[in-house]
Structure formats: C-alpha cells, structure tokens
Amino acid sequence: MTQDLTVGKPLSRIWQFAVPVLFGLLLQQVYSLVDTAIVGHALGVMALGGVGATGSVNFLVIGFCGGLCTGMAIPLAQAFGAGEYRQLRRYVAGCVWLGIIMSALLLAVTLPSTRGLLRLMGTPEEQMGYAFDYIFIIFIGIPTTILYNMGACVLRALGDSKSPVWFLATASFINIVLDLLTVCVLGMGVAGAAIATVVSQLGSGLLCVGYLKKRFPVLHMEKDDWKTSRPEAMRLLGMGVPVGLQFSITAIGSVVLQSAVNSLGAVCVSGVAVAGKIYTLLACPFDALAMAATNFTGQNLGAGKYDRIKQGTYACMFIGILYCVLFVLIAQFGTRYLSLLFMNADEAASVMGYTQQLNVAYAYATPLLLAVNVLRLSIQGMGYSRLSLISGLLEMLARTAVSLWAVPAFGFDAACLASPLAWLLADCFLVPGFYGCLNARRRQAARVRQELPVE
C-alpha cells in the first residue's frame, strides 16, 4: 500500500519508513554475507580473499545500478506527492525502457573488461582465479540487479517500504539453499555462490514487478502511458545518471584504495575483506535513513512543504546519531565474534589485527558517514542530483590521495583513515549545500506564487 509522507510527525514517519527499508537492506546483505561465509568456511581464506577483493569493483558497477534506480525514482516520488498520477505512470514506463537500455550498455562494457580491471588493481595471483570467477558471473546478472532495484525504488517512491522486505526474505532463503547446493554439494566453488546470488536477485525482482501490477491501481498502465517522451526520459536520466555516477565515482576511490591494500599482501587483503563485510552489514541503518530522506524529501517537495523537508532531515540525523553509539560498541567489542561468521577460529587469528583496526577506525567516523548519506540523499530528493555528484568527487579525491601517497609511506594505518577523511571532505560541501538547495527551492516556489494570476 502507498504511504503519504507529507502528513504526520516527521520523526515517526521517518521511523516507520526507515525500519522496513533497514530490514530489506539487511536481507539484501544476506546475499553477499552468505556467499562470503560459505566460501570462507568451505573453500578457505584465499578464496574468501578473492571474493572480498572484488568488493570495490562490485560497488563500482552494481553501485551505479542501484544509484541509477534510486535517482530515477525521485521524479516518481515528486509526482506521487503532487497527486499527478498520469505523469507517475509515464515515469514508470520510462524507467522500464531506460532500465533495459542501461542493462545492455553495462553488459557490453563490463564483461570484456573484468579480468583486465582485476589485474590493473594488482589482485594477488593466488586469489585472481577466485576473484574473476565470482565477479564475472555477478556482472552477467546486472539486468536482474536493475530489475529488483527499480521495482523496489518504485515501491518506496509510493511510500511502500515494507513489501520489498518480504520479497528479499524469500530471495535470501533461496540464496542460502542454492549456495549450499552449488558450493558444498555440487562443488562449483565461488562460481556457484555467484550463480546463487544472481538467481535469487532475479526472483526478488520478479516478485516486485508482480506485486506492483497486482496491488497498485494507480499504476494500471494504458497504452499511451508507455509512450515516454524525450523530456520525460531526459528528466529520469538527469536524476538517475548523476546518482549512479556519484556511487561509481565514490567507488573509483575505493578501487584505488583496494589496489593499495592489495600491495600489502594476501593476508591483509583477506583481513580487509572480512572487515568490509562487517562494515557493510553494520552500515545498513545509515543507508536506510538515506532512502527515507530522499523519499520523504521528494514527496514533500512535490507537495510544497519545505519546512517538513528540513524537519525530516533532522529526524534522520537524530536517529542516526543514536545508532552511531551502538556501532562503536559493536565494532570495539564484537568484531572478533562477527569475523567467525566468515572463517574458522584459526584462520581468523591470522587476519584479526587488520579486521579489528579497520572496523574500529570506521566506527568512530560514523557520524561523518551519517551526514554524507542523509544530506546527499536529501539534496537528491530536492532534485539536485548533479550537485550531489560533487560530494562523490571529493570522496574519490580523498581516497585516491591517501592510496597513492599515504599508504606507500605509512602502510595499513593510512588505509584505515582513507574513508573517514573522504567522508569529512564530502561533509564540508554537503552541509552548506543542503541549506543552499532548500533555500533555492523556497525562492523558486515564491517566484511561482508571485507569477500566478490573481483571481
């Protein structure tokens, strides 16, 4: 069912929207976590490191897909908030056509270049085979990634953050069964884990599409709704591509950082891989708050309720700061136990120093990460996707500078500070940028009101 985010107390509305999104993100992480856990326990620490070494490349491409869908859903949220349902349907149709086109383009670019990119990153030779077998199949599944993300983003644009959770729960169960079957029974190695992920993602995407067709009368399409105009397509791309590029540009810095980590040896790579999985799991609440911020902002912008935009952003920050305290406690005292999800105790001992140090460094910088996520997505929800791209560029520059100059000089200690410094630099732009964008929207609305004829 749809949810109107333009009424009610912002804090409670944000909470009601963000909690189901959080469970959905946690379930989405099950794909990757189960792959990593089964690979680590069944195939060993080198296979685990190989899969982990693909994390930044995965984020580079799959992050673009998720960002593209998130950005293209912003006009949908604005049209829904304004009650323009015919325009909403035309935007949904545009998302379908553009999703097909972008899937084909991404497949054409990524599949031929996968091995070369892994070599360019300096992936350790003993982990290269694992890395390639895993990420190549994940890239084959790009259309399934876009299918699910687009369906889930449409649902969230309409205020329904609960339904995608159930679809992911089903897909996660399928993923676990297929992982055990392909890796442990059929002996397909890391390729089996990747196949399980792609098939499960396809299942969750089909469930989203079927649910949208059955349960949302507002989306019952007529023939003319499928005729997307050039201005509509350009607006969707104008919102979606900058958000996708912002994810990819951020990921470029992560790729460069991964290359620097690869130079520190296979054991370090494995330790960082485990830390990355734990961090990604623990950071899900920040992503949930960011999604709540962009949909809350988009709907209230469409309704012309500018004070609620600021109130909603503050509510996201308040909830997030409370979680930052919990994040620090888990990272400080729980990293050792969480690591055992991915490897046995003897192997964990060999990489624990790297994993613990990186997780703790990230934990104490989480307020910076919170601000990046919430403010960036609020700016995007106001329609300034291209402006928020600048923050991604700043993150990339910070990570690249640390990777090229600090890591060779100071080793792993410098690598631990790369992301916190990137978040800090991005916040220096996003904090004034958020208030500037909000004031610009207020002035724009005031000019429109003055130009309206007096009845």
pLDDT in tens, 212-246: 888 877 778 777 777 777 888 888 888 788 778 77
Contact 186, 42 (CB under 8 A): no
Alpha carbons 132 and 120: distance in angstroms, whole number:
13
| Residue 362: pLDDT over 70 | yes
29-58: pLDDT as tens digits: 766 677 677 777 777 767 777 777 777 777
Residue 454 lies in a domain: no
Helix, coil or strand: residue 132: helix
* Vertex 284 angle, CA 280 and 288, to 5°: 150
Averaged over 389-412, what is the pLDDT? 86
Q: Does residue 240 fall inside a structural domain?
A: yes
How far apart are alpha carbons 112 and 110 in whole angstroms? Answer: 6
Q: What is the dihedral sign for C-alpha 72, 74, 75, 80?
A: positive
Higher-confidence position of 349 and 14: 14
> Mean pLDDT, the chain, as a whole number?
82
In the predicted structure, residue 327 carries a pLDDT above the cut 80: yes
Structure tokens at 155: 């649902």
Q: Is 256 within a domain?
A: yes
Average of per-residue pLDDT across 356-375: 92
Least confident of 116-130, 195-209, 283-297, 409-423: 116-130
The pLDDT of residue 2 is 55
Residue 452 forms part of a structural domain: no
Give the range among 141-150, 230-239, 358-367, 416-425 with minimum mean pLDDT. 230-239
Burial (Cβ within 10 Å: 0-12, 13-18, ≥19) of residue 337:
exposed
Mean pLDDT on 413-440: 91
Calpha distance 111→136 (Å, rounded)? 7
**CA-CA distance, 311 to 300, in Å (whole number)?**
11
pLDDT at 343: 67
pLDDT of amino acid 270: 74
Helix crossing, 55-72 with 142-157: angle to 10°?
40
Question: What is the tens place of the pLDDT at every residue in 243-294?
Answer: 787 777 777 777 777 777 777 777 787 778 778 778 888 888 898 898 888 8
Cα–Cα distance for residue pair 382/295, rounded to 1 Å? 10
Q: Which two tokens stand for residue 417?
A: 């500070």
Say which residue, 8 or 100, is predicted with more confidence: 100
> Is residue 37 in a domain?
yes
pLDDT band at 320 (very low <50, low <70, confident <90, very high): very high
| Residue 209 CB contacts under 8 Å (≥ 6 apart), including other chains | 147, 151
Separation of alpha carbons 227 and 41, rounded Å: 51
pLDDT in tens, 299-310: 888 777 888 888
Look at residues 380, 397, 381 and name the one whose alpha carbon lies nearest to residue 389.
Answer: 380
Measure the CA–CA gap between 208 and 197, rounded to whole angstroms: 17
* Tokens 């994390």 -> residue: 55
Weakest-pLDDT range from 121-125, 413-417, 434-438:
121-125
DSSP state of 76: H
- Supply the pLDDT for residue 303: 76
How confident is the model at residue 280, as a pLDDT? 80
Residue 448, judged by CB atoms within 10 A of its CB (0-12, 13-18, 19+), counts as: exposed
In a domain, 5, yes or no: no
Distance, CA of 284 to CA of 374 (rounded, Å): 13
- Residue 129 contacts residue 50 (beta carbons within 8 Å): yes
Position 226 in a domain: yes
Within a domain: 2: no
How much is the pLDDT for 325? 94
Residues 412-443 as b/e (b if ≥16 CB within 10 A, e otherwise) read bebbbbbbbbbbbbbbebbeebbeebbeebee
200/419 Cα distance (integer angstroms): 31
Q: Measured between alpha carbons, how far is 39 from 196 in angstroms, rounded to an integer?
A: 12
pTM of the model: 0.68
Q: What is the mean pLDDT of residues 293-321?
A: 86
Higher pLDDT, 231 or 136: 136
For 153, the token pair is 């983003």
Q: Mind listing the pLDDT tens digit for each residue in 159-199?
A: 776 777 778 778 888 888 888 888 888 888 888 888 988 99
Picking from 115-129, 187-201, 283-297, 392-406, which range would have the lowest pLDDT averaged per residue?
115-129
Q: How far apart are CA 424 and CA 354, in angstroms?
A: 23
Please give the residue range of the domain that contains residue 24.
Answer: 10-442
The Cα 256–Cα 258 span in angstroms is 5
Q: pLDDT tens-digit profile of 6-37? A: 777 888 888 887 887 787 777 667 666 776 77
Q: Which residues of 199-223 are buried (b: 16+ CB within 10 A; e: fewer)?
A: bbbbbbbbbbbebbeeebeebeeee
pLDDT score of 324: 94
The arithmetic mean of pLDDT across residues 373-398, rounded, is 83
Structural domains of the chain, count: 1
Q: How far is CA 295 from CA 6, 17, 161, in A?
A: 10, 9, 10
Neighbouring residues of 120: CB distance < 8 A, sequence distance ≥ 6: 259
